[in-house]
Structure 1
């Protein structure tokens, strides 16, 4: 018995197909071409014959069982082409969706930036409005008490009266009393100290420009008095409130030079002011 019974079965149809095709080709006149449909059929038959021949030769060489696959290459190519077309369409749809999403994200970012700017502007307006309301709600300062001129007062009495008003918490009255003292006794022995205390009342009333002028006048000649170091610090603080940190730093730099024995409390306040003004170490 032959080792390749399947080969004999496959070779026989191949031979029959070959013999069947030969008379057809021989009987067809050379000058009468086949129509397109017959030509395709012949091509398919020749393709099947070639595939069968290859299968037979492969089986003869290897002795492996022969598995005949359907020769439907065109249909598979069409199926693959259809799948590729579907994938390409899906990719185009995904790309379009990603572009749309990216565009919408860009629009959202721009809108967020615009809203942030509007919010910042509204916050500034609200702060300004709150400040105006607070100013309007602040009760007016009481008028300074009238200064009695019924009997002449000495410089010491006028100074003591002004200090008493200040200690009682009446900064407006004390300020008016110190101004009256300075006007009435321009050559008094406590002119510099009176300007220092006048600056204190002005600081309490947030009159920083007037306070700076008063402190500067009080230490113009760098008096060696107990209140003088504090006047230097108060001048620096008034300059900081007036947005003049460089001038404040220069003023604080003079404190250890002019008053090396200043009290510890004054030096502590001076360091705090230097930190606030961001003075160089």
Structure 2
């Protein structure tokens, strides 16, 4: 850089000095040295200016980098806030649905109906669907109330066997195994031709096993395999018996 600027500054400064009346003989070494010093000073100033400019550029780049990082963090936080809002909204909707089911259960369970004719047409279907929805949502206490109400008011319904089975499943999910065994046995005794009987026998055995009644569990598994050998429940019973050995 110095080799490029020296001829330029020398060429510019010499006419200026001559114009100002300064006599600079070509053989005057002192004048030449002074010009060189001035050129060197200007070069130094220019170099310092370049360094300052580079430092400023670095600061600008650093600020830009920080700005980009802050923007990315804000975008991530905004996304997290949206997810939390969606989860909160979904939670409120689920709670609202559960409250409606509980309200229906209380309305159905408390006032005992004299007969199925006391309800408008299709009411038993709605009650069954509400009961099953409560079970699928994991609200087993509500499903117990609803299925019990359904069986009380519609004992001759075509879905009575299924309702009795799911009542047993609700008790089983609540770890109330004695009540579960009672309901599953009623599926077997009250609806012997129901396709739910093999499943009920399987759950009877599992309930006995859960409370430590291993002999009763083995006997029930064996009875299931003997009576319903082609059922999927029998296949599960075989695996369960194999684990006993």
- Report the TM-score, using the length of structure 1 for normalisation: 0.42
Report which of the two has the higher share of helix. 2
